[in-house]
Amino acid sequence: MSFVEYREQIQDGDTAIIFLGHDSMFPVTIKQGSQTQTKYGVIRHSTDLIGKNYGSKVTCSKGGWVYVLYPTPELWTTNLPHRTQILYSTDISMITMMLELKPGSVVCESGTGSGSLSHAIIRTVAPTGHLYTVEFHQQRAEKAVEEFQQHKVDHLVTVKNQDVCKNGFGVSHIADAVFLDIPSPWEAIGHAKDALKIEGGRVCSFSPCIEQVQRTCLALEEHGFTEINTLEILLRVYDVRCISLPVPDFGTPAEEKGESSVADKAKQIPTSQPGTVQFKSGVSSREMVGHTGYLTFATKNLF
Amino acid sequence: MSVGGMAEGVPGGQLIQEGDYVVLKKQDVYKAVQVQRRKKLIFEKQWIYLDNAIGKHYGTTFEVTGGGNLQIKRSEAAAAEPKEAGADNRNIVDDGKSQKLTRDDIEALKEKGIKGQEIVQQLIENSTTFRDKTEFAQEKYIKKKKKKYDPNISILKPSSRILAMMYYAREPGKICQLRYDTLAQMLTLGNIHAGSRVIVMETCAGLVLGSVMERMGGYGSVIQMYPGTGPVRAATDCFGFPKSFSESLYEFPLSKVESLISGTFSGHSRVSAQRDSVQGGDEESNGSTAEKKEPAQDVAEETCPVTEPEGSADSSQPETQEEMEVSGEESNERDQNPEKKQIVMEKKRKQDERRKRESEAAVLLQNKNADGLIIASRFHPAPLLLTLLGFVSPSRPFVVYCQYKEPLLECYTKLRERGGVINLKLSETWLRNYQVLPDRSHPKLVMSSGGGYLLHGITVAREPAKPNSSCPERTGEPAPKKLKVAELES
């Protein structure tokens, strides 16, 4: 198992995702002799998991079953242990594309936080790129190093425990892209410029508040960045439902009902109840995430 | 596997060279072109030559001088003049007479070859109301005039960011209205990365294919499933990928998928079999499948000519009509006309190469172990998805794009009936751009209201199909329970 390379079989030491159904999943570290409890009963790693293929259905002790999934950065994002507020895949996808990340890219990031974005960056820049990530909180930095080792991506990432606003990224003129998710990104723009290659590169800053964005944009302009652009991306998720609406009764005799156009349409989809029309709909949730943060992008040019 | 001839890191790799595919940028308008010497291009109502850009760095900004030549634009010294501005617009009247320069005057200035910057300055000086405008209004005025009279052109290295934005703005119809943030979601949700084996079915001019290839960096393999007689890769070409990337790119016709599944697929067709017998047929047969021929696919092979996508230089493209005619007369003229013979030989070589790649793609597909599936086409997604998912390994992501929501509702229902998938999600993203200026920050006036919909999920090991109920999507998954799951580490 490695986050940057698919493998078929579940092996000792892997991180796997146990899928219980309907958005219910959790990560598990595979270990010989170890057991995992689920609401469907116990899973024994040695017999139930190791040697099986990813994507298999595993029957638990109480007769219930789960699926074992290969860990992708996206599954990790929805299941990782939070040490901070994290970035989710909707923002991550935009960051990855707008920073023009690809295999071979060298990226600087701060702060590391819970490593949600870090895993996605590492996946994209592998096998020839590298991530330099800076986290000023010692415990979080140590925990991130531990996770990268466990996920067998530590050769693609360097974690530094320092303050990016004071000390920068610890590298100079080697990055293709810089990402900032810190409370005062404007204090790190100079360091971002220094980390980027002489010939240029892209920078992104994530901030929840518009005041932070304004100060960041001013700092970007002062440091000669161009193509400064702020955007926000929102995810709308739809539930697929069968909806049935009752047809009003106008007192029409029963035998004539079949003639009406509404009832005609209803015939095409089998109705469960007489006097109703059924259709499929993508229903939006009653509530959605309305704001995560503003994403500000900019380009550093040679001149 | 090669590193893909990455120019990055190599000195000079960031320099614009003749033959490079580049993107011209003026304000927020992009245009992809190939750099050719002495070639006249039109961009935003302006004729230009790119000759002077050769040897310059990517990202350089140019101004257009007389005759359409480019000249490097140095960062202009900000016109720091004593600012004089009004507080509000209570005394500004729109009488249409505030600008003292006439249209003819401006045209005359332009014809004299006066720099755009100076024209803007003249317009400001001849505006009677400029001094009374507020500081913000003055800035806006200058910005507007600069846009018109002082255009700068930047030359950028192509990327999926730039090309996706360009296509969405210029030719959304050609990419099924796929907005760039939606494309970004697809690449992430599909876990596209180096080393994977990905199946792509798209009719988005090759933009989705190019974006997938960019994320794979030449590592792994991409199989493009194409409708009709050949894949369209006009947008893919704009990326300017190194030659080595094409080694990992395969194509396979959708029209042969059925025969591939039923085991009757053959890499050979009647046309090729004939030619093989004439010319001593040294090509080894693709041993994986039976030699049975499908009449339909022979017809497809013979009526090969198609409208070639513009700007496509791919050698694997089907031949044009003329070339087909030449090949028809092959047997008669072969000995008399050596030039034609050479064309025919070249054509045969290409055809053999194409058939060989098709057989290789067939073998890859038959392994049924692809690492992902990306669909974005003008066709109904349900049959594509249900058929192509069979080629994907368990525990792999798949993403389907559709401009409309309804076909994806159907896909959702049918996938539930089929089984072998979990974590199905139907989603859409909204994208909002902001103007951020001191004391003038707000969302941009206009936002895009349709970037399409995505259905994505993860494949799992399949089981025998369950009996179908009237509304399977409600019964397919257990109701969410607020059960806490404790993990025991022993």
CB contact under 8 A, B215 and A103: yes
What's phi and psi for A282, nearest 5 deg? -95, 105
Interface with chain B: mutation pick from A31, A123, A150, A240, highest number of B CBs within 10 Å: A240
CB contact under 8 A, B434 and A230: yes
CB contact under 8 A, A98 and B434: no
CB contact under 8 A, A233 and B395: no
Q: How far apart are CA A156 and CA B193, in angstroms?
A: 14
B322 φ/ψ sector (left φ>0, alpha ψ -120 to 50, else beta): alpha
Q: Does residue B443 sit in helix, strand or coil?
A: strand
CB contact under 8 A, A67 and B412: no
Cβ atoms B188, B454 nearer than 8 A:
no
State the nearest Cα–Cα gap between A190 and chain B, in angstroms: 20
Structure token pair of residue B181: 């943030």
In the stretch 240-279 of chain B, residues with CB closer than 8 A to chain A read none
Q: Which of B3, B59, B463 lies at the smallest CB-CB distance from A302? A: B59
Cα–Cα–Cα angle for B288, B292, B295, nearest 5°? 130
Q: Which of B183, B191, B395 lies at the smallest CB-CB distance from A55? A: B395
ipTM summary value:
0.94
Angle of helix B180-189 versus helix B207-216 axis, rounded to 10: 50
The string of pLDDT tens digits covering residues A143-201 is 999 999 999 999 999 999 999 999 999 999 999 999 999 999 999 999 999 999 999 99
Residue B456 sits at the chain A interface (C-beta within 8 Å): no
CB contact under 8 A, A54 and B422: no
The string of pLDDT tens digits covering residues B156-182 is 999 999 999 999 999 999 999 999 999
Position B127 confidence tier, pLDDT thresholds 50, 70, 90: confident
In angstroms, what is the C-alpha Rg of chain B? 29
Structure token pair of residue B452: 């399409």
Q: How far apart are CA A82 and CA A86, in angstroms?
A: 7
The H or E element containing residue B411 is helix B406-418
Q: Does residue B234 sit in helix, strand or coil?
A: helix
Q: How far apart are CA B303 and CA B202, in angstroms?
A: 22
For A159-173, B7-21, B463-477, which range has the lowest pLDDT when averaged over its residues?
B463-477
Spatial CB neighbours of B355, under 8 Å, sequence gap ≥ 6: B267, B268, B269, B272, B283
In the stretch 153-182 of chain B, residues with CB closer than 8 A to chain A read 159-161, 164, 180-181
Mean of pLDDT values over B451-458: 96
What's phi and psi for A77, nearest 5 deg? -55, -40
State the nearest Cα–Cα gap between A69 and chain B, in angstroms: 5
Q: How far apart are CA A22 and CA A15, in angstroms?
A: 21
Per-residue pLDDT, B487: 37
The H or E element containing residue A232 is strand A226-246
Q: Does residue B3 sit in helix, strand or coil?
A: coil
Q: Which of A24, A31, A299 lies at the smallest CB-CB distance from B480? A: A24
Q: How far apart are CA B338 and CA B196, in angstroms?
A: 45
Spatial CB neighbours of B288, under 8 Å, sequence gap ≥ 6: B359, B362, B363, B366
Position B205 confidence tier, pLDDT thresholds 50, 70, 90: very high
Closest by CA to A39, choosing from B484, B476, B423, B488, is B484
Q: How far apart are CA A119 and CA A103, in angstroms?
A: 14
Q: Is the peptide bond before B59 cis (omega within 30 degrees of 0)?
A: no
Percent of chain B scoring above 90 in pLDDT: 52
Residue B28 sits at the chain A interface (C-beta within 8 Å): no
State the nearest Cα–Cα gap between B317 and chain A, in angstroms: 27
Q: Is residue B184 over pLDDT 90? A: yes
pLDDT per residue rounded down to tens, chain A (303 residues): 788 999 999 999 999 999 998 889 999 999 999 999 999 999 999 999 999 999 999 998 888 899 999 999 999 999 999 999 999 999 999 999 999 999 999 999 999 999 999 999 999 999 999 999 999 999 999 999 999 999 999 999 999 999 999 999 999 999 999 999 999 999 999 999 999 999 999 999 999 999 999 999 999 999 999 999 999 999 999 999 999 999 998 887 766 555 445 544 444 555 456 788 999 999 998 888 889 999 999 999 886
CB contact under 8 A, A240 and B193: no
Angle of helix B160-170 versus helix B207-216 axis, rounded to 10: 170
Structure token pair of residue A187: 């204090």
Spatial CB neighbours of B338, under 8 Å, sequence gap ≥ 6: none
Kindly identify which residue of chain B lies nearest to residue A175, measuring between CA atoms. B9
In the stretch 386-415 of chain B, residues with CB closer than 8 A to chain A read 393-397, 405-406, 408-410, 412-413
Place of tokens 């969405």: B168
Residue B94 sits at the chain A interface (C-beta within 8 Å): no
Q: How far apart are CA B100 and CA B327, in angstroms?
A: 69
Q: How far apart are CA A57 and CA A67, in angstroms?
A: 5
Q: Which residues of A touch B490 (CB under 8 A)?
A: 33-35
Q: Which of A67, A126, A176 lies at the smallest CB-CB distance from B460? A: A67
> What average pLDDT does chain A have?
92
